[in-house]
Amino acid sequence: MPGKNVSVRVTTMDAELEFAIQSNTTGKQLFDQVVKTIGLREIWYFGLQYTDTKGYITWLKLNKKILNQELKHESPLQFKFRAKFYPEDVSEEIIQDVTLRLFYLQVKEAILSDEIYCPPETTVLLASYAMQARFGDYHPDVHKKGFLANERLMPERVREQYKLSSDQWEEKIVSWWSEHKCMMKEDAMGEYLKIAQDLEMYGVNYFEIRNKKGSELWLGVDALGLNIYEKADRLTPKIGFPWSEIRNISFNDKKFVIKPIDKKARDFIFYVPRLRINKRILALCMGNHELYMRRRKPDTIEVQQMRAQAREERQQKVAERERLQREIAAREAAEKKQREYEDRMLEMQEDMERAKRDLTNAQDTIRRLELSLKELQQAQENLARREEEVKHLGTRLAEEREMEASEKDKLEAEIRRREAEIAAVRREVSEKDAQTRRLQEEVEEARRRQQEASEALLRATTQALHHNKAHNVFEHMEDNYALSNGGDYKVELTSDEYANVPQWEVDRQTAIERNQNIQTRLDALNADLEKMRDRDKVTEYDVLHMENKRAGRDKYKTLRQIRAGNTQRRIDQFENMV
């Protein structure tokens, strides 16, 4: 019924959006509603994807009414909002954080599902950036052992290929993750994409084709141009044509014709299994070519404004992050100081307890001292008395000059005995005197320590209170051009004036190659992993990757190699592939 609302569900990489559309709503109207909802301005990379009535993944035509396209009869109608075109260099081209996040999530999913082949050691590095992008800095006290057990961080191919436990994988990932301290989440996504964009299968749409000989091959369409692959190897292209070498493209039914800028070269012709594939190839070629040429021209006013706004927003975000980091650092310093005070107070309390025990002991010592003093006094009195007695006996002995010898001997013996007793009493008095002085010193030391402990505890308590008061403050590119309903179509791509635009890509180095430290660590990780590899689980693409690595090839070196020679030579090479 005209005017009746139709429910639509659009799934982005991190959200589900529900809309109600009219029967006459076009693809562009829905697309505009989606990008407005998510705040996306770099719309030229994206499109709406759906599964058609024949089960094929198809891009929604933006210039046609939605209900006039080959949609499944379901409610709600299901669409996926996905990147259709990829930037050549993420760090140079992506402007908005929302664009960066959508690309990051889509590329990460493609790597985890093995749609994009990634070497095992590189998956560990990428997993570490994924953790930084999701959780921020690694904190051992928060991210305990086993923290990553339920995280999907690497392709199953990699997990199955090595005799490593989850804990061992986690240890390797964490060793990289801990290196990313203070890296913003958006920066971690950017670093992830800078590594991923150097992978050979990144951003490539593959199509089965045949040359004139009937040889089964792959055509790869990406941001840099058209590449030809052997059927058994989608990792390493054998022939390449940059977008700047292609004048126009056309198809007639299942035959696809590419006319080079080089007028001396023959047409580049291949065949596809179905007409709909040619339509999709044409649309992807047009979109990628336009973006390729646009990147080699000055930015439009709109893009300049977007870049200026993005820079301003990023500066604000960086300033805010720096402010937060300062606050965090101040809070951590305050907490550290607080812990130090608490530890010091605990030490002082322990000292206080010891001092109390010492005081108790001192009090016991005082009591013993008092007793000792009393005993000393008694001993001194006893000594004086005995000395007096001896003196008296001596006087008596002197007076009794004429007493009998036996009495005299007896008196002298008594005097000697009394003198011996006096000597013993003197020794006792001396010992008690020394003991008394020692006890007095112990009492004084105990009192001094008690006083010091009390004063220290008072100081610590005062400082801690001041510390708490001071620091509590930290609490579109539209690719669905109007293709005719018939079986042929033609589109002009590059004019002569743009035939010599720079091919920056052939002179690029991979992000890993530019960072010697990462390169060295990855080589070491690869050597370490190699010891644990199950040879029976090695895939064909692992073998191809190892062969490329041994030969010193990477994405850009291969690109340079497959574009060598003139256009005609490469077309001849294509036609002779078997």
Q: What is the CATH number of the domain that holds 12?
A: 3.10.20.90
The pTM of this model reads: 0.74
Predicted local confidence at residue 454, as pLDDT: 61
Q: Give a yes or no: residue 51 inside a domain.
A: yes
326, part of any domain = no
Residue ending a domain, choose from 59, 84, 109: 84
80 in a known ligand binding site = no
Q: Would you mind telling me the total number of residues written for the chain in this entry? A: 578
61 labeled part of a ligand binding site: yes
Helix (H) or strand (E) holding 492: strand 488-492
Does the annotation place 28 within a ligand binding site?
no
Number of neighbouring beta carbons within 10 Å of residue 548 = 19
In this prediction, residues 344-356 reach a mean pLDDT of: 80
CATH no. for residue 528? 2.30.29.30
Based on the fold, state whether residues 132 and 215 are members of the same structural domain. Answer: no
Shared-domain flag, residues 361 and 417? yes
pLDDT band at residue 58 using 50, 70 and 90 as cut-offs? very high
CA–CA gap between residue 164 and residue 396 (Å, rounded): 109
6 CB neighbour count, 10 Å cutoff:
16
Q: Is there a domain that residue 568 lies in?
A: yes
- The verdict on 445 and 342 lying in the same domain is yes
Residue 275 is labelled as binding a ligand:
no
Q: How would residue 189 be classed by pLDDT, with cut points 50, 70 and 90?
A: very high
Range of the structural domain that residue 461 is part of: 338-474
Residue 475's pLDDT band (boundaries 50, 70, 90)? very low
47 compared with 404, residue with greater pLDDT: 47
- Return the bridge partners of 80, or none: 11, 49
CA distances from 44 to 48, 131, 198, 351 (A): 12, 29, 22, 72
| Residue 79 sits in the same domain as residue 107 | no
Indicate if 529 and 499 belong to the same structural domain: yes
Q: Residue 130: which pLDDT band, with cuts at 50, 70 and 90?
A: very high
Residues 192-249 pLDDT 10s: 999 999 999 999 999 999 999 999 999 999 999 999 999 999 999 999 999 989 999 9
Q: What is the pLDDT of residue 235?
A: 95
Domain match, 455 and 496 both: no
Flag whether pLDDT at 25 surpasses 90.
Answer: yes
Distance CA 168, CA 188 (A): 23
Pair (374, 434) in one structural domain = yes
Please enumerate, as own/partner, the contacts of 505-509 that have beta carbons within 8 Å and a separation of 24 or more.
505/88, 505/224, 505/242, 505/556, 505/559, 506/556, 506/559, 506/560, 506/563, 507/556, 507/560, 508/89, 508/556, 509/556
Output the pLDDT for position 169.
93
Query: Does one domain contain both 63 and 48?
Result: yes
Q: Are residues 185 and 105 in the same domain?
A: yes
Whether 304 is in a domain gets the answer no
Counting the structural domains of the chain, the total is 4
CATH of the domain at 175: 1.20.80.10
Last residue of a domain, one of 164, 196, 228: 196
pLDDT at 404: 67
| Confidence at 287, pLDDT banded by 50, 70, 90 | very high
Average confidence score pLDDT of the chain: 84
Token reading at 200 = 């050979």
Residue type, 109: E
Does some domain include residue 329?
Answer: no
Is residue 558 situated within a structural domain? Answer: yes
> Lowest-confidence range among 176-180, 208-212, 217-221, 376-380?
376-380
Q: Does residue 462 fall inside a structural domain?
A: yes
**Residue 458: what pLDDT?**
59
- For the domain that residue 460 is a member of, what is the CATH number? 1.20.120
Among residues 474, 496, 526, which one ends one of the domains? 474
User: Whose CA is closest to 74, among 49, 53, 47, 48?
Assistant: 53
In whole angstroms, what is the distance from residue 463 CA to residue 470 CA?
11
Mean pLDDT of 318-345: 85
**Same domain? 283 vs 342:** no
Task: Give the Cα separation of 454 and 352 in Å (integer).
Answer: 7
Asked if residue 256 and residue 220 are part of one domain, the reply reads: yes
Residue 57: its H or E element = strand 57-59
Which of 63, 66, 65 shows the shortest CA–CA distance to 50? 66
CA neighbor of 566 nearest in space, from 293, 270, 266, 292 = 266
For residues 128 and 173, the answer to whether their CB atoms sit within 8 Å is yes
For residue 498 the two structure tokens come to 């743009």
Q: Is residue 319 part of a domain?
A: no
Looking at residue 456, its pLDDT comes to 58
CA distance 103 to 42: 12
- Asked whether residue 364 falls in the same domain as residue 467, the answer is yes
- Distance, in Å, from the CA atom of 501 to the CA atom of 297, rounded to the nearest integer, reads 9
Helices of type H across 266-404? 275-295, 301-399
* 164 assigned to a ligand binding site: no
